[in-house]
Amino acid sequence: MVGTLPLQGLQVLEFAGLAPGPFAGLFLADAGAKVLRIDRVTGTQDPTPDLLARHKSSIAVDLKSSNGVGLIKELAKTADVIIDPFRPGVLEKLGLGPEVLCTLNPRLIYGRMTGFRRDGKYAAMAGHDINYIGVSGMLSLLGRSGEKPHPPMNFIDFAAGGAILVQGILLAIITRERTGKGQVVEANMVDGTSYLATSLRQNLKTPYGDHPRGENLLDGGSPYYDTYETKDGGYMAVGALEPQFYAALIAGLGLGGQNWEKRRYDRETWPEMRRQFEAIFKSKTRSEWEAIFDGTDACCTPVLGYPELETNAGREGDQRPVVALRETPCLAVNQKGADPSIHGQGPGIPGGGYIGHALAPGQGGEGALSSWYNWTKGKDFDVKDGGVVMVKDKSKL
């Protein structure tokens, strides 16, 4: 029998921000937490650009007013988690820092997400993904030989930012079960990136990574760990590192009997090996190469694009929760994947994971205040000029 959602009953206040903060809230919401986003008062009902809002609700609050600050304090008294996505000092200046809110609610887990370290050289500076991976050292490893460092798309925001913050929050939840107390959880994308790069950094002192950028085994230097264009303009991804996998690749390419298996570690042969691989892969279409390598251990697979994954049911494109909990499944990303006995998923929503769910300031917020706190509009709170306010002269909510 399938149980409840893993984070059912957890109440999260998420201050609206950029990618990593909303992603942390999204993860918690997908796991069943109730996430209430705190938006600025904009004067419009237009959805914000944040598409990481599925399963969330929103209230708009004027944080520059004493009433707005007081409202957040009341919400924080019984919240489990707060997600602070701002630069150091922003919420503190508003009187909503951890020293205030954690005093009001000792069980509160105050999650703070920054780009740079809070105590580092760049703490007060603006930045984006490319800057965080730049100062962390990781960007120096990315790019082809002889070319400038090349940043990936900003998935580091999510992997080294939002996902790391979630891990910290979950660790704090586990600790709270033992101690009864919450705590401040601090994450930043510099340290998150550096931690993700642990193995890469350590390999710089080994034969696996001691050559210049783009000339190592796993960064495009090796011809049997790279991508190759096919006859129809597609690409195949090759990762035949182990001897038995390399042998299967060579056999599939029709290069058996040429002693390549014994020469694969000889770097002087890599340019010629790459030229042969390039010519052979261009002799067939991607689908033809798939027919050759599917079901083998050659570690040779197609490079698939999201448009074809979205429309081809036979591919790996049905988006699912990041982990499958068989007994207490997370909410499904794909509306068709609601059978927990198959994929460890609970009920799904439209969009299949390819369409974002925008949220307008205030959307669903009144219902959340009612269900979370048993508050009544007009009695406990009201909406004025597009923002939620506490009812005046109400001494206790």
pLDDT tens across 33-71, in order? 999 999 999 888 889 999 999 999 999 999 999 999 999
Query: Per-residue pLDDT tens for 209-221?
Result: 999 999 999 999 9
The model's pLDDT over 326-336, given as tens digits with 9 standing for 90+, comes to: 888 888 887 76
The pTM score is 0.93
Structure tokens at 152: 């990936």
Number of domains in the chain: 2
Q: Which of 311, 328, 362 is the last residue in one of the domains?
A: 311
Rounded to whole angstroms, the Cα distance separating 393 from 381 reads: 11
Q: Which domain holds residue 58?
A: 11-196+319-390
- Calculate the CA dihedral of residues 220, 223, 224, 225 and round it to 10 degrees: 10
Confidence class for position 345, pLDDT limits 50, 70, 90: confident
pLDDT of residue 319: 86
Per-residue pLDDT tens digits for 80-109: 999 999 999 999 999 999 999 999 999 999
Residue 318 has pLDDT above 90, yes or no: no
Asked if residue 220 is part of any domain, the answer here is no
Q: Residues 137-147: what's their mean pLDDT?
A: 95
> Does residue 285 sit in the same domain as residue 372?
no
> For the chain, where are the E strands, in sequence order?
11-15, 34-39, 56-60, 81-84, 109-114, 184-188, 225-229, 235-239, 300-302, 381-384, 387-390
**307 and 365 co-located in one domain:** no
| pLDDT one-digit tens code per residue, 60-70 | 999 999 999 99
Same domain, 128 and 148: yes
Per-residue model confidence (pLDDT) at position 113:
95
**Do 301 and 330 reside in the same domain of the chain?**
no
End residue of a domain, out of 270, 295, 311? 311
CATH code for position 162? 3.40.50.10540
By mean pLDDT, which of 166-180, 238-252, 254-268, 337-351 is the weakest? 337-351
| Over residues 238-259, mean pLDDT | 96
- Strands 225-229 and 184-188 come out as unpaired
pLDDT in tens, 353-382: 899 989 999 999 999 999 999 999 999 999
Q: Are residues 305 and 325 both part of a single domain?
A: no
Same domain, 182 and 120: yes
Same domain, 33 and 159: yes
CATH at residue 263: 3.30.1540.10
Mean pLDDT over 168-194 rounds to: 97
Residue 380 appears among annotated catalytic residues: no
Which of 295, 311, 327 is the C-terminal boundary of a domain? 311
Say if residue 158 is in the same domain as residue 251: no
Domain shared by 164 and 58, yes or no: yes
Q: Are residues 97 and 32 in the same domain?
A: yes
Tell me the pLDDT band of 338, cut-offs 50, 70 and 90: low
Of the residues 80, 157, 191, 226, only one is catalytic, namely 157
Q: Is the pLDDT of residue 337 over 60?
A: no
User: Taking 70 as the threshold, does the pLDDT of residue 303 lie above it?
Assistant: yes
Quick one: pLDDT at residue 141? 95
Categorize the per-residue pLDDT at 395 as very low, low, confident or very high, splitting at 50, 70 and 90.
very low
Considering only CA atoms, give the Rg of the chain.
Answer: 25
